A and B are shown apart, each in its own frame.
Chain A
Amino acid sequence: MESFFSRYKNALVLLLVLVLQLLALAVQAKRPATDAADPRAVSALRYAVVTVITPPEKLLHNTGLWFRDVWWGYLDLVHVRRDNNALKNELERLRLEQASVVEDARQGQRLQHLLGFKEHYIYQTVPAQVVGTSGTDQSQVVYLDKGSDDGLKPDMPVMTADGIVGRLKDVFPSTSQLLLISDAASGVGVMLETTRTRGILKGSSYGQMQVINVSPDERIKPGDKIITSGGDQIFPRGMPVGTVDHVVPDPERDPLVDVIVRPAANLARLEEVLVISGMGGVASSQEAKDLAESEAEGEAAQKRASDILSERLPNRIDPNAPLDTNPDQNVDSTGNVVRPLAPPKPLHTDGFSPGSTPPASELTPGARSVPVKNGTEELPSKPQPAKSAALSTGSASTSGTSAAVAGTTVPRKTVTVDANGVARPTTSPRTVPGTTGTGLGTTSGTVTRVPRPALPGTATGSSAGSATGSVPGSVLRPVPRPALAGSAAVPGSAPRPASGTATTVRPSTPSTSSSSAAEGLPKTRVIDDGPVSRPQRPASTTASTPRPDAAAPKPATTTAKPGSATTKPSAANPATQKPATPVRRSPVLVPDDGSRPPSTVKPKTSATPAPQPASPPQGRGV
């Protein structure tokens, strides 16, 4: 017996050592879960090993850090100033970016509060240095220089500025073991940011990470971000994990796929990490302070933005702005509006003017809300459409904005009808109470726009301060039509097709320049059954596009003497024989911000025969 032990001593020792260790493995493998805490003996053994190994590692690591700090902090200072400026710019940009998203964050928090979600704030972190590793690639574990003495506990999440890196596994008094997310024993609840697909992130023996058991989804593309889902009760929700590298089929589960993940943090070169030692429903004081600063900066940024917008948009108009005859004076050399424009005022009261409609409390149910307009009107006896048509086309140019400038004295063109019944354009200075205007818009005086193909022998023109929209050249065709004499002008009302008014020669409300031309003309009683005023359609649709029924006789809501104010087509009238050709205008360049175009883009001046003042921009001629 003695010889047996002495003969096989070596083999017996080996067998004994192997059996003991196998028993130790069996004890450790008996644990219900892999992540459960180690037995006390095993922990003691690990603690002994770490106590022996990590102090020299700390010493070497700190020595290396000292040399590195001396080098980087005192010797290698090249480009420090440039880097500092770049970092300041980056900080400013990030502050603005933070200010822009803080309101969204607030809203999200309110919604989460309404839905009963419990938000977990990170209010306490402990920075730590990585001082060592396990030494083998089969175990993705690193060691930190902070332990339970610094408030660390097992299962605390660890992150860097780029994303999560792992969680604490074993914590010793001055050292702690960090299990990286790339380890095979690690598991993190993650979620794809775009598809919101949830899964479990697992590592592998070679450090490759993958989200396992994912349903096939064509929307999963390389580069998609992966964030924590918070389902593991360890990592806070929404922290970056990595990006999708590629998708491979799961060899063990056929329809499912595995998403190979590229980690956001560089797990191979960890130096400094943050251990999240406190999470809760209340934000930390520093976080609250940062949030308040962000809100203040956000409000300041919004205020600045609103000021800029208010200068560019016409919604903030000074009603007491001085009279300005030249809209270009509001524009600087770069085309930006430097002074607010005066508010537009309608030339005549219409149904859409503020204050023109009685309040609802004063209305009677069933009563007629639209007044019936009765009155007399002075009508020219023999308006000549020929030249007025030319005038209309010549003065019908607008550029998408109304013509006149509020409170400005503009030369206005009026159509006066002489004794021979020939309409003549005249120009006279006139003060417009208040209309908006742009540089391309032109003041057209009192020649009103014709909402439909002009009747022969009627005066046509463009409406001054009409609704926005370009007015291409009016197409005036001699359309045979029953004479609607006497219905030529409806003061203060826009032409209305249903009313049967063929042409409205609107006298200027405050001005009397055109009324003088109509003196002595027969007065016609006008009954306009309809609203006081309708918004005028864009001239491009009303003036240039005749409706098929334009020649049909309209229901005569206007009582007038036939032939009194209508000029029949005749050979003597060249305008009626030669219809005006449509004028095609080049598109007008208008900046996107609604401001006026640069002053370099000047409209062509009108080619009307009447003398044009040089100062205000006039409508482009035919």
Chain B
Amino acid sequence: MALMASTRREADERSYPLLLYILVPLLALGLQSLVTLHFPRFGLVDLPLMVVIYFAMERQRPVAATLGGALMGIVQDGLTHQPIGVFGIAKASVGYLAASLGVRIDTDAHGTRLVLTFVFVLLHNGIDWVLMRHLLAQPMVWDWLHELLRAAINALIAVVLFALLDLARSRE
């Protein structure tokens, strides 16, 4: 695992086609909604969160990651019946942290991605639970085993997904 800080030049080289910034989030949202219809267990997976983490770590721009995460969360909130902003706050926070860490550590290693994704998923669900339980007084239950399992599954899938997205990365 390489924890060395990447240079600014290396980060700038990680650019993607503009269309990818639009299609990948939409595809993540669509697949998340459609696949869960046929495979209910797929609800454990959070594809939009993975997309937010990936672009935040790769682009290493906290402002863009925060706004992107907030937008992705709001769209995801729009698909649910819960108040708009719950996922937005959680994903904005995760995007900011992922982008901030991406500046300092090398996020190309799979191990780093695995650990970071695991932590970010836990953080995301923790923020979601706090907002729902204590801010909105919704009957949310925090089950450590369930949350750890969910974080592990998401981390494993994220490693594969990040590798696929790396193929679309354009190097100058």
Contact = CB atoms under 8 A, between A and B. Distances in A.
Contacts of B17: none
B154 interface: no
B43 A137 contact: yes
A17 B33 contact: no
Contacts, number: 157
Contact of B81 (A24, A177, A202): A177
Contact of A13 (B63, B132, B140): B63
Nearest to A140: B81
B85 A10 contact: no
Interface string B32-55: 111011101001101110000000
Contacts of A137: 40, 43-44
B84 interface: yes
A46 B74 CA distance: 9
A45 B92 contact: no
Contacts of B33: 53, 57, 132-135, 143
A622 to B, nearest CB: 81
A28 to B, nearest CB: 4
A266 to B, nearest CB: 10
A25 B79 contact: no
A526 B115 CA distance: 119
Contacts of B63: 9-10, 13
Nearest to B99: A10
A85 B32 CA distance: 41
B101 to A, nearest CB: 12
Contacts of B99: 10
A75 interface: no
A10 B79 contact: no
Interface stretch (A178-186, A339-347, A605-613): A178-186
Nearest to B137: A29
A570 interface: no
A203 to B, nearest CB: 9
B62 interface: yes
A66 interface: no
A142 B30 contact: no
Nearest to B32: A135
Listed residue (A46, A56, A136, A170) with the most chain B CB atoms within 10 angstroms of its CB: A136
B70 A183 contact: no
B36 A133 contact: yes
A211 interface: no
Contact of A45 (B44, B67, B84, B128): B84
A29 B67 CA distance: 23
Contacts of B30: 53, 56-57, 60
Number of contact residues on A: which range applies?
35 or more
Contact of A49 (B47, B78, B81): B78
B42 to A, nearest CB: 8
A458 B131 CA distance: 106
Interface in A1-57: 9-10, 13-14, 17-18, 21-22, 24-25, 28-29, 42, 45-46, 48-50, 52-53, 56-57
Interface string A385-429: 000000000000000000000000000000000000000000000
B152 interface: no
B139 A21 contact: no
Given A10-B62, A184-B138, A46 B78 contact: yes
Given A28-B84, A139-B80, A268-B40, A18 B32 contact: no
A10 B66 contact: yes
Contacts of B143: 206
A125 interface: no
A138 interface: yes
Listed residue (B40, B44, B78) with the most chain A CB atoms within 10 angstroms of its CB: B78
B109 interface: no
A25 to B, nearest CB: 5
A184 B139 contact: yes
Interface string B74-95: 1110111111111011001100
A128 interface: no
B81 A185 contact: yes
A25 B80 contact: no
Nearest to A179: B81
Nearest to A208: B141
B122 interface: no
Nearest to A64: B38
Contacts of B112: none
A205 interface: yes
B79 A21 contact: no
B62 A14 contact: yes
Interface string B82-122: 11111011001100100110000000000000000000000
Contacts of A53: 26, 29-30, 33, 75, 79
A491 B44 CA distance: 97
For the complex of A and B, 6 pairs with smallest distance between CB atoms: A49-B78, A137-B43, A139-B80, A135-B32, A21-B85, A10-B62
21 contacts: A10-B96, A10-B100, A17-B92, A18-B89, A25-B85, A28-B85, A45-B74, A46-B84, A61-B37, A133-B34, A134-B33, A134-B36, A134-B81, A135-B36, A135-B80, A136-B36, A138-B80, A184-B140, A185-B81, A202-B139, A268-B40
Given A10-B63, A48-B78, 4 more contacts: A17-B89, A24-B85, A46-B84, A206-B143
Interface of B: 26, 29-30, 32-34, 36-38, 40, 43-44, 46-48, 62-63, 66-67, 70, 74-76, 78-86, 88-89, 92-93, 96, 99-100, 128, 131-132, 135-136, 138-141, 143, 146
